[in-house]
């Protein structure tokens, strides 16, 4: 059994050390592989073009949380997405930053600042603001717990409704009930056939008027022109986006220049190399023991 890392040079040293300490065979690049039959695992954002070179490949390990960009894999090859506390904590931090920015009218004050305007607006208590989280998975649940501890009223929507202390949860078929009570909507969904384009005119129209949008899922989940229409019509007041369609967002895109929108370039999380390597080791060990693979992606479901 050996793992081939198909990734950036910065990761190689740390992964090499972690694998050496664990006594597991590791190749830092494809060029280092002399016997392709040894390679049983490949860790990557995008796999090498020719996977048929590795006849004993059992799993591809995506080095991020999302795997929607992965091409189809050969029959019998499992896909694992990286499960790491650092990814979850980083996205939680970004979402809390964004929710607070919208809750405390940061886009408005940043815009006023460009004109040197000292003008105050009414401030609301967190407990009067309802934050609706679309996607109550590993990250959504952590975000919900953190925002709840900060006094926000938290709602969560997922395919199957969940029981989470202090969070009002909704199942897949009650999207409208969830939306109608979300003053700030947070997108934390994986990109699948069901969630592609979900943030559209119809969805924005179901939010309370003057709602805010925080989007950290995937860019292709939102129609950027629908966002513009919702902002221009006053249905949405402001938005903070970490993911956009397209990525990178072109320099002349309207969203960069719109004072109601704050864009960051998909920096919600960057996988810590040590944590990524530890996840890959856990996948290898689980495979060896015949245990369930950590982070196994259900390819039919899409996440
Ligand atoms: P999980 O797989 O743990 O959770 C996904 C959640 O989405 C689950 O609650 C799931 O419902 C729900 N869901 C999926 N499809 C639907 C649907 N059609 N309708 C309703 N709910 C649905 O993922 P994570 O929390 O780890 O990550 C979520 C996403 O965040 C990633 O896939 C990625 O796209 C994005 N991300 C973005 C980052 C960034 O840097 N901006 C960094 C990391 C992740 P159920 O619980 O019922 O299965
Ligand atoms: C992602 C990640 O999935 O960076 O966006 O982990």
* Whether residue 177 is found in the same domain as residue 285: no
Give the count of domains, the chain: 2
Our answer on whether the CB atom of 243 is closer than 6 Å to any ligand 1 atom is: yes
49-54 contacts at long range (C-beta below 8 A, 24 or more positions apart): 51/77, 54/4
Residues 244 and 208 in one domain: yes
> Please, where are the H alpha helices in 71-223?
85-103, 106-114, 138-149, 175-179, 201-205
Domain region containing 41: 2-84+271-289
- What is the atom index within ligand 1 of the atom nearest the CA of 195? 18
Q: How confident is the model at residue 271 (pLDDT cuts 50, 70, 90)?
A: very high
269 lines ligand 2 (CB under 6 A): yes
Instruction: Residue 228: give its domain's CATH number.
Output: 3.40.50.720
* Shared domain check, 125 and 192: yes
Q: Which residues are catalytic?
A: 218, 266
Distance 286 CA to ligand 2 centre (A): 23
Domain check: are 115 and 256 in the same one?
Answer: yes
Which atom of ligand 2 lies closest to the CA of 66?
3
**Does any domain span residue 294?**
no
Among 87, 140, 195, 267, residue to substitute to test ligand 2 (most atoms within 8 Å of Cβ): 87
**Sheet with strand 130-134: strands edge to edge:** 167-170, 153-157, 130-134, 184-187, 211-215, 236-241, 261-263
* Residues 110, 230 within the same domain: yes
- Tell me, what's the pLDDT at 178? 98
Residues 52 and 117 in one domain: no
The predicted-structure confidence for 92-141, as pLDDT tens digits, reads as follows: 999 999 999 999 999 999 999 999 999 999 999 999 999 999 999 999 99
pLDDT (tens digit per residue) in 72-90: 999 999 999 999 999 999 9
Q: Is 84 in the pocket of ligand 1 (CB under 6 A)?
A: no
Place of tokens 């997405």: 81
Phi-psi category of 280—alpha, beta or left, where left has phi over 0 and alpha has psi -120 to 50?
A: alpha
pLDDT tens digit sequence for 162-173: 999 999 999 999
| Mean per-residue pLDDT of the chain | 98
Q: What ligand has the least distance to the C-alpha of 83?
A: 1
pLDDT reported for residue 86: 98
Ligand 2 pocket check for 65: Cβ under 6 Å = yes
Tell me: do 149 and 285 sit in the same domain: no
pTM: 0.98
Domain identity same for 253 and 106: yes
Token pair recorded at residue 26: 């590791």
Q: Is residue 249 in some structural domain?
A: yes
Is 120 a domain residue?
yes
Whether residues 43 and 72 fall in one domain: yes
Are 42 and 128 part of one and the same domain? no
Looking at the structure, tell me whether residues 94 and 234 fall in a common domain: yes
Give domain status of residue 298, yes or no. Answer: no
- Choose the residue to mutate in 64, 247, 267 for probing ligand 2, maximizing ligand atoms within 8 Å of C-beta: 64
Closest by CA position to 157, among listed 193, 130, 126, 128:
130
């Amino acid at each position: 059994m050996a793992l081939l890392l198909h990734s950036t040079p910065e990761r190689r040293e740390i992964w090499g050390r972690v694998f050496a300490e664990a006594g597991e065979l590791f190749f830092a690049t494809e060029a280092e592989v002399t016997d392709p039959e040894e390679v049983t695992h490949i860790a990557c954002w995008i796999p090498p073009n020719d996977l048929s070179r590795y006849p004993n490949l059992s799993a591809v390990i995506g080095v991020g949380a999302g795997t929607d960009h992965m091409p189809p894999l050969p029959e019998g090859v499992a896909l694992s997405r990286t499960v790491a506390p650092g990814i979850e904590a980083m996205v939680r931090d970004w979402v809390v930053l964004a929710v607070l920015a919208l809750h405390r009218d940061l886009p408005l004050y940043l815009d006023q600042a460009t004109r040197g305007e000292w003008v105050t607006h009414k401030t609301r208590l967190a407990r009067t603001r309802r934050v609706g989280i679309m996607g109550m998975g590993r990250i959504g649940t952590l975000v919900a717990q953190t925002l709840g501890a900060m006094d926000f009223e938290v709602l969560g929507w997922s395919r199957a409704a969940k029981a989470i202390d202090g969070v009002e949860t909704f199942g897949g078929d009650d999207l409208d009930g969830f939306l109608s009570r979300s003053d700030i909507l947070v997108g934390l969904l994986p990109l699948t056939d069901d969630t592609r384009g979900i943030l559209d005119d119809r969805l924005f129209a179901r939010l309370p008027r003057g709602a805010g949008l925080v989007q950290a899922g995937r860019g292709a989940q939102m129609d950027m022109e629908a966002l513009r229409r919702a902002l221009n019509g006053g249905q949405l007041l402001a938005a903070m986006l970490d993911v956009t369609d397209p990525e990178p967002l072109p320099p002349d895109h309207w969203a960069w220049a719109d004072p109601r929108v704050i864009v960051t370039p998909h920096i919600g999380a960057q996988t810590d190399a040590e944590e990524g390597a530890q996840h890959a080791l856990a996948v290898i060990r689980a495979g060896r023991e015949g245990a369930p693979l950590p982070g196994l992606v259900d390819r039919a479901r899409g996440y």
